[in-house]
Amino acid sequence: MTAGGPNPWMVVNALQARFGGVHVLLEEQESKAEIFRRRQRRVGTITALGQLATMAVGKFMRRAAQKRSQSICQDFSANPRFDPQIPVTTVRSINSPEAQEAVQQLSPGVILLVSTRLMTANALASMPCPVLNLHAGINPAYRGQMGGYWALAKGDRGNFGATVHLVDQGTDTGDVLYQVRAQPSSGDFISTYPMLLTAAALPVTCQAVGDALEGKLTPIAPTGPSALYFPPTLWRWLWTGLTKGIW
């Protein structure tokens, strides 16, 4: 299940190459207005506007990051392009009735979430198989969004990584299956960190899916400090870049 994009397609293509039989449930992306209203309720108007401003700048900078993105894909033998041979079912949301109906019809052995909305408790309870999530951050220290960026911004370079975990009712709070650390290059920044971490996590993601299909999942309860993050505000991102060299 995914909202689409180069990073999720890397995962889809890796799973298809490893196992075959992949079927994608593609949900509609949330509008900027929906994202803003949700963030506004949680962090206030000014901070929410600052976060959206960073997202807008990051989207613009992704165009400038094309060369680095190509390098990441080459380094990890990853394919970020949509494969029209892989079946896709489009749904409004992974929590919608049509998504649940599609899952029941497909009867999958495992479900993997990559860049989706949070799955509601009701939707999760209706799933007929294990539900996993690929998170571009180390749980539980860097839950939420931009986990790799925040690890670097806080000087925690050893926790620049990704986590594959079981999905529960929280935000990236489920039991951990696998984690992987990576090393960013000098050419990486907020627009390329997620791709780098997704590419680095492809082997453990395939391993977790294989474990689920074989009924051999070995989840571990997350330990240590836990924190939930969102994209930085534009002004914090600029300050961190200028003072720490983390962009």
pLDDT in tens, 1-11: 999 999 999 99
Q: What are phi and psi of 59, to 5 degrees?
A: -65, -40
Instruction: Determine contact, residues 147/167, Cβ cutoff 8 Å.
Output: no
Residue 142, domain CATH: 3.40.50.170
Q: Find the mean pLDDT for residues 112-125.
A: 97
Task: Return mean pLDDT, the chain.
Answer: 95
141 confidence band (pLDDT: 50, 70, 90): very high
At residue 190, the pLDDT reads 94
Amino acid at 88: V
Instruction: Determine contact, residues 219/136, Cβ cutoff 8 Å.
Output: no
For residue 236, tell me if it sits in a domain: yes
At residue 135, the pLDDT reads 99
SS3 55: helix
Does pLDDT of 54 surpass 80? yes
For residue 132, tell me if it sits in a domain: yes
Q: Distance (Å, rounded) from C-alpha 71 to C-alpha 117?
A: 29
For residue 161, tell me if it sits in a domain: yes
Report, in angstroms and rounded to the nearest whole number, the Rg of the chain calculated over CA atoms.
17
SS3 188: coil
HSE-up (13 A, CA, CB side) for residue 91:
21
Tally of structural domains, the chain:
1
Lowest-confidence pick of 55-64, 66-75, 123-132: 55-64
Residue by residue, DSSP assigns 193-204 as: HHHHHHHHTHHH
Q: What is the pLDDT of residues 142-199, one digit of tens each?
A: 999 999 999 999 999 999 999 999 999 999 999 999 999 999 999 999 999 999 999 9
For residue 16, tell me if it sits in a domain: yes
For residue 108, tell me if it sits in a domain: yes
For residue 215, tell me if it sits in a domain: yes
Q: Which residues, including other chains, have CB under 8 Å from residue 192's CB and lie 6 or more apart? A: 65, 68, 69, 72
Q: Find the mean pLDDT for residues 89-113.
A: 97
For residue 1, tell me if it sits in a domain: no
Q: What are phi and psi of 121, to 5 degrees?
A: -60, -40
Using the 8-state DSSP alphabet, how is residue 95 labeled?
T
Nearest to 119 by CA among 166, 189, 158, 82: 166
Q: How far is residue 2 CA from its own chain's centroid?
A: 9
The parent domain of residue 15 ranges over 6-244
Q: Distance (Å, rounded) from C-alpha 26 to C-alpha 96?
A: 12
Using the 8-state DSSP alphabet, how is residue 220 labeled?
B
For residue 217, tell me if it sits in a domain: yes
